[in-house]
Homo-oligomer: A and B are copies of this chain.
Amino acid sequence: VETEDLVDAAREAGIEPVELFVAGENVEPEVLAVVSTLGHAPRVVGLFRRADLPTGRRNVTVALWRVGDPGNVGTLLRTTDAFGAALSLSEGCADPLGPRALRASAGAVFRVPLVPWEETEGRRVALVAHGGVPMGEVSRADVALPLTLVLGSERDGLPESLVTQCHLAVSIPLSGDAESLNVAAAGAIALYELSRGAS
């Protein structure tokens, strides 16, 4: 984990690094420049254990189906954190611990439980680009908690076989010409709408 901000986010979440490298203190700055994936050398690099990351359940879980872009996975981690949700990743998703996802998550990876795909629970609601119940017209009973919100890949959305396994398919009504929203934008809107309904 590169940069002080991310290491601090981990510590605030009660997760201590196994090793901590600080430029000019216990390591030469040039060494951090070599291992860094950033455009510039970070002052701090921390080494963490995957097993120390949060586990557990939340009332809402966002389940991503083959979302391959690490920026989208990281942004969705940050958004699930903001709305108190958990995240689940299918095979074929970008690694949430890769450098781009970590940066986009802004530290949320240390706070959001990652739920194994087969352990997601409650009602399953698929978010589809077209043809679902318009979001905002969904009844509260249809989004009773606990709930798993299933989002598809950037390019192909959700396979029909996965949609039919869900209790409900919902769509975000769009007023413009776009085919669909970016998956992280769609997920943000869905989490916002769910948080309204629950309040």
Q: Please give the residue numbers on chain A whose beta carbons come within 8 Å of chain B beta carbons, in ascending order.
A: 71, 75, 78-85, 104, 106, 108, 111, 136, 172-182, 184-189, 192-193, 195-196, 199
Task: Give A71 to B73 CA distance when docked, in angstroms.
Answer: 13
A-B contact pairs, 5 of them (CB 8 A): A75-B184, A79-B178, A80-B176, A82-B180, A85-B176
Each complex incorporates copies of this chain amounting to 2
Minimum CB–CB distance from A184 to chain B (whole Å) comes to 6
Complex contact A192–B195 (CB within 8 A): no
Q: Choose among B84, B175, B179, B196 the residue that contacts A176 (Cβ–Cβ < 8 A).
A: B84
Complex contact A75–B192 (CB within 8 A): no
Complex contact A78–B188 (CB within 8 A): no
Q: Choose among B71, B79, B173 the residue that contacts A181 (Cβ–Cβ < 8 A).
A: B79
